Homo-oligomer: A and B are copies of this chain.
Amino acid sequence: MNFPRTYFLKDIAKIINGKMIGDAEFPITGINEIHKVEVGDITFVDHPKYYKKALNSLATTIIINKEMEAPKGKALIFSNDPFIAYNKLVAHFSQFEKANQMIHPETEIGVDTHIQPGVFIGKNVKIGKNCLLHANVTINGPALIGDNVIIHSGTVIGGDAFYYQKRENGYNKMISCGRVIIKDNVEIGANCTIDKGVSGDTVIGQGTKLDNLIQIGHDTVIGENCLFASQVGVAGTVTVEDDVILWGQVGVQKGLVIGNGAIVLGQSGIGKSLEGGKVYFGSPTKEATEKMRELVYITRIPEIIEKLKK
């Protein structure tokens, strides 16, 4: 998430009640968790195991729970609890706004876009032209929706990421401040759930079509002209390239990459990244021809046992 304007180290340190290590006027332009950081961002690290990764990341300011010198060209903020400090900062810049009407009055809606009754649209949502939002859709902002997009009833855009840190008192939630971006000509079926990014964007690429009851996790990026059949579940931070077809009830674990034009047969469980241009099947997934061969081999075990007896 980018801040609405540039802030300075002193401003941010004050918000989170942390100790500045660096120039008070050091500029900070946004906040992101470690997987999404860019130059100008502030991020956090709270475990020595990840100090190096955070300090060497693109982030130029890091909230950290050890006092040390700032790396060259960067700034630090010392905090006893960087996770809480990060969450506080996110909350500061993306405060949940209680709604008292179904459609936020500042929603930008393009020409020829129609919104059926029962649709909720929260703060910071922009919808293109010639879209159709069916009854009882929910869009929690921030979200950007392109042109010619159809969203079917009951679908929820912009739920929070399923992202917790285990702490002594149970799971603590990482507050989501990312967006959902839905490109032109996308159609999303009924009762789907598309979570917002934790700090980055969840993206559904142009021309992609989703059937009903599909889950798309936080910060996942889906390419163009993909087809996902009903009840597919894609975890967070997945990259699905273009022209990928996932048949019904396929599951994709977090962080994977599914290559261009891959086709995955129904109920497959994807636990490793998949090369494009091939057909896959099984849980865990293999190339479909290999998996089919395996299924035949299994049927030959009784015959093997017979032979061994002789």
A contact set with B: CB distance below 8 Å:
96, 98-102, 114, 116-118, 120, 122, 132, 134-136, 138, 140, 150, 152-156, 159-160, 162, 164, 170-171, 173, 185, 187, 189-193, 195, 206-207, 209, 211-213, 215, 217, 224-225, 227, 229-231, 233, 235, 248-249, 251, 253, 266-267, 269, 271, 283-284, 294-295, 297-302, 304-305, 307-308
Question: 5 A–B contact pairs at CB < 8 A?
Answer: A117-B120, A118-B136, A138-B154, A152-B159, A191-B191
Q: Which residues of B contact A102 (CB under 8 A)?
A: 117-118, 135
Q: If A191-B191, A193-B213, A301-B300 touch, does A235 touch B230 (CB 8 Å cutoff)? A: yes
Q: If A99-B135, A117-B100, A304-B304 touch, does A191 touch B154 (CB 8 Å cutoff)? A: yes
Please give the distance in Å from A198's CB to the nearest CB on chain B.
Answer: 14
In Å, the complex CA distance between A21 and B173 comes to 57
Q: Is the interface of A mostly helix, strand, loop or mixed?
A: loop
Please tell me if the beta carbons of B233 and A159 are within 8 angstroms of each other in the complex: no
Q: Which residues of B contact A248 (CB under 8 A)?
A: 215, 233, 235, 251, 253
In Å, the complex CA distance between A271 and B295 comes to 14
Please give the distance in Å from A213's CB to the nearest CB on chain B.
Answer: 5
Q: If A251-B267, A304-B308, A308-B307 touch, does A156 touch B156 (CB 8 Å cutoff)? A: no
Q: Which residues of B contact A187 (CB under 8 A)?
A: 173
In Å, the complex CA distance between A284 and B249 comes to 13
In this complex, what residue of B is CB-closest to A292? Answer: B284
In this complex, what residue of B is CB-closest to A138? Answer: B153
Please give the distance in Å from A174's CB to the nearest CB on chain B.
Answer: 12
Residue from B114, B153, B170 within 8 A of A185 (CB atoms): B170
Count copies of this chain in the complex: 3
Please tell me if the beta carbons of B283 and A283 are within 8 angstroms of each other in the complex: yes
Please give the distance in Å from A136's CB to the nearest CB on chain B.
Answer: 5
Please tell me if the beta carbons of A230 and B233 are within 8 angstroms of each other in the complex: yes
Q: If A215-B230, A269-B266 touch, does A299 touch B294 (CB 8 Å cutoff)? A: yes
Q: If A190-B156, A235-B230 touch, does A225 touch B170 (CB 8 Å cutoff)? A: yes
Please tell me if the beta carbons of B120 and A136 are within 8 angstroms of each other in the complex: yes
Q: If A190-B159, A305-B300 touch, does A136 touch B136 (CB 8 Å cutoff)? A: yes
Q: If A209-B162, A233-B213, A302-B297 touch, does A96 touch B154 (CB 8 Å cutoff)? A: no
Q: Which residues of B contact A300 (CB under 8 A)?
A: 301, 305
In Å, the complex CA distance between A211 and B271 comes to 19
- Besides A156-B191, A266-B269, 8 other A-B contacts (C-beta < 8 A): A102-B135, A122-B135, A134-B138, A138-B154, A153-B159, A162-B209, A171-B207, A298-B298
Please tell me if the beta carbons of A98 and B120 are within 8 angstroms of each other in the complex: no
In this complex, what residue of B is CB-closest to A295? Answer: B284
Between A117, A187, A217, the greatest number of chain B beta carbons within 10 A of the residue's beta carbon is seen for A117
Q: Which residues of B contact A118 (CB under 8 A)?
A: 102, 118, 120, 136, 138
Q: Which residues of B contact A120 (CB under 8 A)?
A: 116-118, 135-136, 153
